Structure 1
Amino acid sequence: MAAGGPAAMHDGDEKGGLRAALGGLTTRGRSFLAAGIAAAVCAYVLGQTDLLRVGLLLAVLPLVSAVVLVRTRYRVAGSRRLAPSRVPAGAEARVHLRVENVSRVPTGLLMLQDRVPYVLGPRPRFVLDRVEAGGHREVSYRVRSDLRGRYPLGPLQLRLSDPFGMCELTRSFSAHDTLVVVPRTEPLPAVRLAGEAPGYGEGRQRSLALAGDDDVIPRGYRHGDDLRRVHWRSTARYGELMVRREEQPQRARCTVLLDTRRLAYRGAGPDSAFEWAVSGAASALTHMLERGFSVRLLTDDGAAVPGEGAGGFAGSSQESAEQAGLMLDTLAVVDHSGGGGLSRAYDALRGGNEGLLIAFLGDLDEEQAAVVARMRRSSGGAVAFILDSSDWAQGDVPPAGAGAAFEERLRLLRAAGWTALAVRPGTALADHWRQAGHQGAAQSAAGGGTTDLSGGWS
């Protein structure tokens, strides 16, 4: 909610205010002024005294209205409230405006206007009748965008008019609000995805996947501690009662990789391949957070979001809704990168087992496919959704052999241990997610492990 302080409808500089008022003469006011001057000139030429009186009346009326409007001390406060402030693409948000008269005199006719980007719809305008001293008026309007992004709202403008409609003065508040339009997300089924490295999750690692072992550093005894947790060796060493720390839970990890390279996608607009990949990444990270995973969002340039936890993973102390909000806000403004490769993302993944890896990739040449294949070594399980530009291109003729090259990339990733799926236009992510689960079941039957997306490892 943004609030603007009282906006004075009276300028401290009288000359500047009068100059602004004369510049704010309406078409009616200018017409009266021109007609009055013309009548006065004609009266002088023709020697008609009555016509001169009429001319003076017509010319003076807009000038008097401007002076009265400038000298009127109106003070108006305005505020704006968004409900909600974050919406998915294609959904509507409602903007509530409140105007309060904080002066001791009632206002005249007020015209209220809020500035909004053209992609959110037409600029809203409202006409407010007389607002009594200390009174307020509330109005609202709806905004909607099919394109994700961050859109500024404001400043709020008030236009004050005299009773005759001869002059208008405009005042603006300084406060702004921001509407965040995040990618569309869709609910995903709780399935098991295959692709764990051989032997991963067995023995001690398997038991610590969701619940870690006790901290080996003891602490002092506190009232209410279980006496069965007393660490007698440390008690004898320090001369006071020491207990083992409580079990520190660890969350299973998941990395969602989004390929943003410009050369990897063709087309633009809400139905383009890149927007499908962004929406898919948003759906995947939301789904994994709801299942209790510690999730990070990684792009091809190696940047991780939100980055509060170790290695860029969201800390377990954060709420899932807050974590999802941070990453969705990033995806709301993510754009194509100028990079040509995925080596930075590979460097960010290299160095340890990063748990489950879910990748949304555009076109891959032979070199980049090899880089993605090596990413499999740093993950416990790996699933890739690959968008073939030859299918998504609108009106473009794909180069000869593009389909065969794409199938070869899929075979290369599958041979490296990836569960790789081709994404065709018009298909829902939930269908591909379910298909990945079927492939996971097949790999599990063949002897591979599975990642349980309902919250654990098996």
Structure 2
Amino acid sequence: MSRPHARAPQEEGERAEPPVASRARFTGRGWGFLAAGALCLLLATWLGRKDVLALALFLGSAPLFAALSLYLVKPRVQLKRTVDPALVTAGDPAAVRLRVRHRTRRGRPDRGAVTVHETVPGPLGGDRELSVEAGGEPAGYTVRPRRRGVWELGPATVRVADPFGLATELLDVSERTTLHVAPDAVELPEISADRLRDSGADPSRTALPQPGPDNVTTREYRHGDPLRRVHWAASAKQDKLMVRQEEPRSTRRTVLVLDLDERSWPGGRLWAGVLPSTAEFEWAVGLVAALLEHLTQRDTAVHALDGFGRPLPSGGEDDDASAPRHAVAAVTDDTAEDARHGLSRVRPVRAPAPEPGGSGPANPLADRLARDGLVHPLLLVSGDLGREAADRLVRAAPRSAAGSAVLVASAPDREPEGAGVLEAAGWSVVVVPADAAPEEAWARLGTGARTAGAAR
């Protein structure tokens, strides 16, 4: 049976799941009754006793009548699955709750416990079997995903038995519930800003007034200054009325590009839940998450794009990574968590087809940077970058900004062909294996080293 697509999540991650198929089976007790009935029938034939024959008929017909009663009553089960929270960070727990409503064909609620067999992916702990009180308190379990991605919980099988436990009916609930797992951001070391060509005259720096205890100065009171700005401690020290004055603080800006072109990720297939991926791509996503946290916490506004010029997904929106997105908003310290959560859904994709009625831009990333005026330093995270793709990146990056790249090699003895193209254009390039530590790769980028070794 083909697996249907999951519906849009309801509030708080809850989904109502109607049964799509059912089948009746005898329980172990029912098969025991049938075996005992057959034995009594043999004894009645051998001994010629009618009382033993009556016992054989009773034992053999009881499971049959139990199965017939389930067919006539036709139990209906509604299963609701709730995941709280529906979006977590790798390593954090998520609570799953199952609530069951059991009704007969006439719509009457039926009490009693039913057994639910829940399908759970192996990395989340494997399948679970729970006893759920119909119409009562929900039963649940906890999952703790270790890898990022979109994970499916379900389908479930509900086992409903007759009052005597002789027959059971299995009701299949086929719909799944998704759990989004964002990558965990490791802490990156400090590197020199000069490695990203960052200077006070760089167009990537803008002066924005940001009040705070670190950038407050005082000046003498002038007529018309509001009293709420009076700095009483400084006034007492200077013996004259002083007011607070916030100095503008320099804010850096950078463009962070995650290459999603599947041609850059030729490694062995790895599944991030239901998303196709590779070990190299998972390493790159983890580095991007760490970069978003590291840069935004240091007064850097990050414009996060993919290699096709589209903004990376953010928050809990359930969109398609291959669909065009037009709005570009810089990621700041306030929105870094939403941007990291959006990384739970990224995956290698094919290059988008040209728009209908035209050939589309030859270099969509260059078109995006030019249209939005993104002349800031560009930081690329890619895999086996080809020469043609590297040439497009060089032409896309504005001349006033620097280029830095971290390339994940799919084999220890294989260097991406695009590395030389980027270096010839003046980019800082670091080539790493998929088992390298992100902290070491970032530190190598700061020192200008060509390669980063594997993690110890």
- With normalisation by structure 1, the TM-score equals 0.64
- Structure 1 counterpart of 2:401: 380
What do residues 140-166 of structure 1 show as CA deviations (whole Å, max 9, x unaligned)?
2435354x4212223544322235431
What do residues 33-61 of structure 1 show as CA deviations (whole Å, max 9, x unaligned)?
46536755885798541232012111222
- Where does 1:232-247 land on structure 2 (aligned, <5 Å)? none
Q: Is the 8 A contact 1:80 1:95 kept in 2?
A: no
- Structure 2 counterpart of 1:208: 206
- Structure 2 counterpart of 1:281: 288
Partners in 2 of 1:144 and 1:314 — Cα distance? 29
Q: Does 1:359 align with 2:372?
A: no
- Structure 2 counterpart of 1:347: 367
Q: Is the 8 A contact 2:81 2:99 kept in 1?
A: no
Partners in 2 of 1:208 and 1:301 — Cα distance? 27
Aligned AA (1:178) = T
Partners in 2 of 1:4 and 1:194 — Cα distance? 51
Q: Does 1:420 align with 2:429?
A: yes
- Structure 1 counterpart of 2:53: 52
- Structure 2 counterpart of 1:24: 25
Q: Is the 8 A contact 1:4 1:77 kept in 2?
A: no
Q: Is the 8 A contact 2:195 2:446 kept in 1?
A: no
Using a 3 Å threshold, how does the CA distance of structure 1 residues 26 and 100 change in structure 2: closer, same or farther?
A: closer
Using a 3 Å threshold, how does the CA distance of structure 1 residues 373 and 175 change in structure 2: closer, same or farther?
A: closer
Using a 3 Å threshold, how does the CA distance of structure 1 residues 159 and 191 change in structure 2: closer, same or farther?
A: same
Aligned AA (1:304) = P
- Structure 1 counterpart of 2:304: 297
Greater helix share, 1 or 2? 1
- With normalisation by structure 2, the TM-score equals 0.65
Partners in 1 of 2:71 and 2:47 — Cα distance? 36
Aligned AA (2:366) = Y
Aligned AA (1:115) = T
Using a 3 Å threshold, how does the CA distance of structure 1 residues 250 and 433 change in structure 2: closer, same or farther?
A: same
Q: Does 1:320 align with 2:336?
A: yes
Using a 3 Å threshold, how does the CA distance of structure 1 residues 53 and 300 change in structure 2: closer, same or farther?
A: same
- Structure 2 counterpart of 1:433: 442
Q: Is the 8 A contact 1:152 1:177 kept in 2?
A: yes
| Residue 68 of structure 1, CA deviation | 5.6
Secondary structure of the residue aligned to 2:395 is helix
Q: Is the 8 A contact 1:6 1:102 kept in 2?
A: no
Secondary structure of the residue aligned to 1:304 is coil
| Residue 210 of structure 1, CA deviation | 3.7
Partners in 2 of 1:432 and 1:67 — Cα distance? 67
Work out the number of aligned pairs and report it. 378
Q: Is the 8 A contact 1:296 1:307 kept in 2?
A: no
Partners in 2 of 1:438 and 1:5 — Cα distance? 54
Using a 3 Å threshold, how does the CA distance of structure 1 residues 209 and 412 change in structure 2: closer, same or farther?
A: farther
Given candidates 115, 125, 129, the residue that maps to 1:125 is 129
- Where does 1:134-153 land on structure 2 (aligned, <5 Å)? 135-136=136-137, 138-144=139-145, 146=147, 148-153=148-153
What do residues 361-410 of structure 1 show as CA deviations (whole Å, max 9, x unaligned)?
2234444433333344256343211233442xxxxxx5xxx66x86xx65
What do residues 211-266 of structure 1 show as CA deviations (whole Å, max 9, x unaligned)?
59xxxxxxxxxxxxx9789xxxxxxxxxxxxxxxxx99996433221223333344
Aligned AA (1:321) = E
Q: Does 1:330 align with 2:330?
A: no
Using a 3 Å threshold, how does the CA distance of structure 1 residues 248 and 125 change in structure 2: closer, same or farther?
A: farther
Using a 3 Å threshold, how does the CA distance of structure 1 residues 7 and 179 change in structure 2: closer, same or farther?
A: closer
- Structure 2 counterpart of 1:110: 114
Partners in 1 of 2:126 and 2:33 — Cα distance? 32
Give the superposed CA RMSD: 4.8
Partners in 1 of 2:74 and 2:204 — Cα distance? 74
Aligned AA (1:337) = R
| Residue 301 of structure 1, CA deviation | 2.7
Partners in 2 of 1:298 and 1:111 — Cα distance? 47
Q: Is the 8 A contact 1:193 1:439 kept in 2?
A: no
Q: Is the 8 A contact 1:112 1:156 kept in 2?
A: yes
Structure 1 regions of 5+ residues with no counterpart? Answer: 9-15, 213-225, 230-246, 392-397, 441-458
| Residue 279 of structure 1, CA deviation | 1.9
How many percent identity over aligned positions? 25
Using a 3 Å threshold, how does the CA distance of structure 1 residues 165 and 227 change in structure 2: closer, same or farther?
A: same
Partners in 1 of 2:327 and 2:249 — Cα distance? 17
Q: Is the 8 A contact 2:387 2:421 kept in 1?
A: no
Q: For the pair shown, which has the larger CA radius of gyration, 1 or 2?
A: 1
What do residues 290-348 of structure 1 show as CA deviations (whole Å, max 9, x unaligned)?
3343333322233222489986234779743223323x2333xx124358999433333
Secondary structure of the residue aligned to 2:193 is strand
Q: Is the 8 A contact 2:82 2:97 kept in 1?
A: yes
- Structure 1 counterpart of 2:454: none
